[in-house]
Amino acid sequence: MVISRNLSSDQNNLTKEKQQAPFYLANHIDPDQQKAGHKLFAKQTEFIKGITSITAMPSEGHPEVCFSGRSNVGKSSLINNLTGRNSIARTSKTPGRTREINFFRLDQNKFLVDLPGYGFAKAPLKERERWQRLVSDYFFQSQNLRRVFLLIDSRHGIKSSDINLMKMLGEAGVIFQVVFTKHDKVKELQFKEVLEASFEKMAAHANAFSEVLLTSSRKGHGIALLRATISKLFHLN
Ligand SMILES: Nc1nc2c(ncn2[C@@H]2O[C@H](COP(=O)(O)OP(=O)(O)OP(=O)(O)O)[C@@H](O)[C@H]2O)c(=O)[nH]1
Ligand SMILES: [Mg+2]
């Protein structure tokens, strides 16, 4: 299924002339890219620190990618799976587990960043405001953010809180790539509908990357492709 929309030809410059490009679900992995992705994640990942204020950012000068999405969508689980470390990022059945911005260092001084989730209805207003300030500061001030992976639950699709995040990223001039999570929990037909609806919603955002990924941290689905995508963003292949 392909839905046309506008995407900037130069992903780092959203103001350049637009060209038609479709959204599509990635289904191919280049062998060289796969090797580079495997190599990047083969060495031990190190937890550097968690911050609650942007002044404490540790990764200045180092390229990084980050994982954002609603509470409980599976950001921390995905980082654990990518790095092959069961609990380097803390996960929980209860939404709101990650409350800081957590930095993890991969081989060659490349960083993965785990963001606190949003959209948790029971979170107090103060907590939501704190999230908004911290995450917005991060998006606007990070100098080396190569891409935001925007995680979407395969069962539920894109919600209004995700759209708010897309807008925030657009204002900060940051590209996001949608990564569907928990694929093991969804039936094919149900997912097809979610995908169609998601593409329609993404079409309103010029900073949406055309390729989307499908993952399951539980089953390991899509992990090699995500590793390869990250290594490519770091220009390692
Ligand atoms: N079935 C299934 N469950 C998953 C998958 N990924 C994560 N989960 C479960 O979903 C719950 C939330 O996962 P987390 O990784 O803590 O989610 P998070 O997005 O980091 O949540 P916050 O830190 O609260 O924003 C946990 O109970 C995980 O075990 C998956 O691929 N499949
Ligand atoms: Mg988390």
Q: Is it the case that residue 197 has pLDDT exceeding 80?
A: yes
Which of 204, 211, 200, 136 has its CA nearest to residue 174? Answer: 136
What is the position in ligand 1's atom list of the atom closest to the CA of 219? Answer: 31
Out of 70, 72, 93, 104, give the residue to mutate to test ligand 1, the one with the largest number of ligand atoms within 8 Å of its CB.
72
Specify the DSSP class assigned to residue 52. S
- Mutate which of 91, 93, 156, 215 for ligand 1? The one with the most ligand atoms within 8 Å of its CB, which is 91
User: What b/e readout covers 66-85, taking b as 16+ CB neighbours within 10 angstroms?
Assistant: bbbbbbbbbbbbbbbbbbeb
The residue contributing the CA closest to ligand 1 atom 6 is 74
pLDDT higher than threshold 70 for residue 153: yes
Rounded-to-integer distance, Cα 98 and Cα 100, Å? 6
Tell me if 97 CB under 6 Å of ligand 1: yes
User: What integer is the mean pLDDT of 177-204?
Assistant: 97
Interval between CA 75 and ligand 1 midpoint (Å): 7
Q: What number of other Cβ atoms are within 10 A of residue 171's Cβ? A: 12
Give the number of the ligand closest to the Cα of residue 82.
1
Pair of tokens at residue 56: 């404490």
Look at residue 212 and tell me whether its pLDDT is greater than 70. Answer: yes
Write down the H helix ranges in the chain. Answer: 31-42, 75-83, 125-141, 160-172, 188-202, 223-233
The larger pLDDT score, comparing residue 94 to residue 23, is at 23
Convert the pLDDT of each residue in 50-105 to its tens digit.
Answer: 998 888 888 677 999 999 999 999 999 999 999 988 777 777 777 666 788 999 99
102-141 exposure pattern, b = at least 16 Cβ within 10 A, e = fewer:
bbbbbbeebbbbbbbbbbbeebeeeeeeebeebbbebbee
Average predicted confidence (pLDDT) for the chain:
87
pLDDT of residue 8: 38
CB-ligand 1 contact for 155 (6 Å cutoff): no
- Which atom of ligand 1 lies nearest, measured to the CA of 73? 19
pLDDT for 119 equals 87
At 237, the pLDDT band (50, 70, 90 cuts) reads: low
Report the distance separating Cα 221 and Cα 8, nearest Å.
29
> Looking at residues 97-121, what average pLDDT do you find?
88
Instruction: Identify the bridge partners of residue 47 per DSSP, sorted by sequence position.
Output: 104
State the pLDDT at residue 61. 78
**Is the pTM for the entire model greater than 0.85?**
yes
State in Å: Cα 170 to ligand 2 middle.
23
Q: Which residue has the higher pLDDT, 237 or 186?
A: 186
Domains and CATH numbers, the chain: 9-234 (3.40.50.300)
- Residues paired with residue 105 on neighbouring β-strands, in sequence order: 46, 111
Q: Categorize the per-residue pLDDT at 20 as very low, low, confident or very high, splitting at 50, 70 and 90.
A: very low
Is 73 touching ligand 1 by the criterion CB < 6 Å? yes
Ion ligand 2, residues whose Cβ is below 5 A away: 75-76, 97-98
Q: Is pLDDT at 230 greater than 50 in this prediction? A: yes
Is residue 72 in contact with ligand 1, taking CB distance under 6 Å?
A: yes
